[in-house]
Chains A and B, each alone.
Chain A
């Protein structure tokens, strides 16, 4: 991080710069005073509400009645409902363990120092080949003496993570096909891909979700109609693939013609050339834009509440309608908002550092 700071600048100089920014010009003095007054009014109120006057610990509803601040006791009482939702209460440790394994595997794969090591691909493949079935077994059960939990009871954070992770992964794979199809020399392939991408990008996600929820059961024979969660999953994949394809198209167009010709010249087939020469460069170029789509995909999984599914937002809504805790909702929304904030912020922080790493490493290779 030391490279980010301008060199040879002492703390004193920095402080002087900040002071000049705050009080250097008449406009800045006025701005500082206005913002300062606002902060003086708001910050203590928020601090009192969240910390000083709040009720902590699982102490029940009555303790909150006297306090004027936040009722974190509500979160203490409802955290398991918000995080795990309708998953059977006694088996929620399984969902927790599955999430830990999943996020652990993610963190393991995210470490770019590992990518250059020999057999990196094989190691990662083995990790995921263990992690994914483990998660599936833990969530579903039915073997090793674990109780069977049908997929429609998956809810809360595990559902949000599943919808977004698989949605992003398969949408990315699908979008590569779409982007390549859009560049194809075959007119029919090109037209179909263009029509698909533009159609999807022109309509809101909810209409695709409605299609999955209400239309699929009509246009498919009964034996092919899968559970609602899987239908929503398909809708997400279809929707975000169109947006990612548009980003990838930009990347494909930015790659010099020489790269395509070089791939042809050394005798690679179309798919070999794409996989080994073109796509790695395209993905590297488009990381920032792709990550923006990943983040909105993560946030937009919350739209499934509209087709009455219980993802993280759905379970939050279920928690606040409890008549015993009537009138408490701010705490619940703040809690859930913080979970979304941490995940989205984490993804964007990771992508920024990855981008920096690729920029510095790209020159060396």
Chain B
């Protein structure tokens, strides 16, 4: 390339950054409007061909389907809106229980991965590698097949211990039944116990020495707990499930679908949570551990009092996104027929043909979940920062 000796010419006006920026943005906006108009006009044409209309009025008309299980007690004849509520409740039910279980399992495995015992390290490392590299949906289908195909019929149900039955109808277990009066009494005692436990720390700052000593006496909550247990033991009746025909009667049961989704979500997510916990612990500098040991703390308290509180700050943000993943991944339940929000949505689409509306609704629902979890996350982060994190 030769250097030209031409005199400098200003670039044409459309090459000027400011003008180009405006042009690009205007083009994008026009493109978006055009695409939306294109999609909507096509939708109108295509829907008219099948004599369908757009709109959300269908939400108030009656649904004619049943759901396999429903926390809210949905039944055929309720409105589609109720069906959505039932789906949301089912999604939340399985997600929250899986979040709790996966957190416990994940923390245990994450700590075990850094244990001094090589056997424990090997086992937890193998667990993480195996579980992470197999699709969640395959794991859920496996658990579902295991329960429905390999577990015995209710008549021959496995009974690991008295009152717990494993069969191809899911997990059935005995429940305690209290009449209304005693239920209120036990509930009141439980609230009292909770209040007492919550008061223990603030009680330290109380001026009245006697009251403080009374509130901090460990025998007090124990006494309340004992009272509760005695009350339950003497007034509750045990509702033991019995085989009747092809199923159980009495007790409470968890369906195979719920169990499979719960197992799948818990086992899969625990592997990811374990990795977060592990990297959080590794993130706490070596000096902290050594300083704690130098103070004479034993390995257990070192972990509990020094390492974990610091690791927690690093772990919480990725943990929150794991929780969000659990909520989103619970939508895989649709593959094995657990009536979560996604399953409800597919049923409604096939009943009404309102694909656009229903997909818009489920997206809005999941976006709401995401926003709530990231909001809680921000609140937590701010509280940590306020403590001087």
A59 at the interface (CB under 8 A from B): no
B86 at the interface (CB under 8 A from A): no
Query: Which of B115, B116, B299, B367 has the most chain A CB atoms closer than 10 A to its own CB?
Result: B116
Q: Bits for A210-249, please: 1 = Cβ < 8 Å to B, else 0.
A: 1100110111111000000000000000000000000000
Q: Which of B131-139, B280-288, B289-297 faces chain A?
A: B131-139
Contact residues of B: prevailing secondary structure: helix
Give chain A residues whose Cβ lies under 8 Å from the Cβ of B129: 345
Distance (whole angstroms) from the CB of B353 to the closest CB of chain A: 9
Closest A residue, CB atoms, query B36? A219
Q: Bits for A17-44, please: 1 = Cβ < 8 Å to B, else 0.
A: 0100110110110011001100100000
- Whether the pair A210, B346 counts as a contact (CB closer than 8 A) is yes
Query: Which of B29, B134, B334, B359 has the most chain A CB atoms closer than 10 A to its own CB?
Result: B134
A92 at the interface (CB under 8 A from B): no
- CB contact list, A157-200 vs B, under 8 A: 185-189, 192, 199
Distance (whole angstroms) from the CB of B86 to the closest CB of chain A: 18
Q: Bits for B10-39, please: 1 = Cβ < 8 Å to A, else 0.
A: 000000000001001100110010000001
Give chain A residues whose Cβ lies under 8 Å from the Cβ of B100: none
Q: Bits for B71-88, please: 1 = Cβ < 8 Å to A, else 0.
A: 000000000000000000
With A32-B119, A218-B43: A333-B28 Cβ-Cβ less than 8 Å: no
Give chain B residues whose Cβ lies under 8 Å from the Cβ of A192: 28, 32
Give chain A residues whose Cβ lies under 8 Å from the Cβ of B376: none
- Whether the pair A218, B32 counts as a contact (CB closer than 8 A) is no
A299 at the interface (CB under 8 A from B): yes
A123 at the interface (CB under 8 A from B): no
With A207-B359, A300-B135: A317-B141 Cβ-Cβ less than 8 Å: yes
Give chain A residues whose Cβ lies under 8 Å from the Cβ of B138: 302, 313, 316, 333, 336-337, 340
- Whether the pair A31, B142 counts as a contact (CB closer than 8 A) is no
- Whether the pair B349, A214 counts as a contact (CB closer than 8 A) is yes
- Whether the pair A204, B331 counts as a contact (CB closer than 8 A) is yes
Q: How far is the CA of A219 from the CA of B357 in the complex (A)?
A: 12
Q: How far is the CA of A228 from the CA of B72 in the complex (A)?
A: 36
With A189-B24, A218-B355, A219-B43: A302-B331 Cβ-Cβ less than 8 Å: no
Please tell me the size bucket of the interface on B: 35 or more
Partner of A219 from the list B29, B119, B120, B356 (CB cut-off 8 Å) is B356
Q: How far is the CA of A313 from the CA of B120 in the complex (A)?
A: 32
Distance (whole angstroms) from the CB of A339 to the closest CB of chain B: 10
- CB contact list, B47-86 vs A, under 8 A: 47
B332 at the interface (CB under 8 A from A): yes
Contact residues of A: prevailing secondary structure: helix
With A22-B117, A192-B32: A299-B136 Cβ-Cβ less than 8 Å: yes
Partner of A203 from the list B299, B335, B346, B363 (CB cut-off 8 Å) is B363
A128 at the interface (CB under 8 A from B): no
Distance (whole angstroms) from the CB of B279 to the closest CB of chain A: 12
With A204-B328, A341-B133: A333-B118 Cβ-Cβ less than 8 Å: no
B209 at the interface (CB under 8 A from A): no
- Whether the pair A219, B329 counts as a contact (CB closer than 8 A) is no
- Whether the pair B134, A340 counts as a contact (CB closer than 8 A) is yes
A303 at the interface (CB under 8 A from B): yes
- Whether the pair A305, B137 counts as a contact (CB closer than 8 A) is yes
With A31-B119, A214-B355: A327-B136 Cβ-Cβ less than 8 Å: no
- Whether the pair B137, A189 counts as a contact (CB closer than 8 A) is no
- CB contact list, A248-272 vs B, under 8 A: none
Partner of A31 from the list B115, B141, B329 (CB cut-off 8 Å) is B115
Give chain B residues whose Cβ lies under 8 Å from the Cβ of A295: 133
Query: What 5 pairs across the A-B complex have the smallest Cβ distances?
Result: A344-B133, A202-B370, A188-B25, A219-B39, A204-B328
Cβ contacts A to B, 6 pairs, < 8 Å: A21-B118, A206-B334, A207-B363, A218-B46, A303-B332, A306-B335
Using CB atoms and an 8 Å cutoff, list the residues of chain B in contact with chain A. Answer: 21, 24-25, 28-29, 32, 39-40, 42-43, 45-47, 115-120, 123, 129-130, 132-138, 141-142, 145-146, 149-150, 299, 328-329, 331-332, 334-335, 342, 345-346, 349, 355-356, 359, 362-363, 366-367, 369-371
A305-B335, A340-B135 are known; give 10 further A-B pairs, CB within 8 A.
Answer: A25-B116, A31-B120, A187-B25, A202-B370, A206-B332, A207-B359, A214-B359, A219-B46, A299-B135, A341-B134
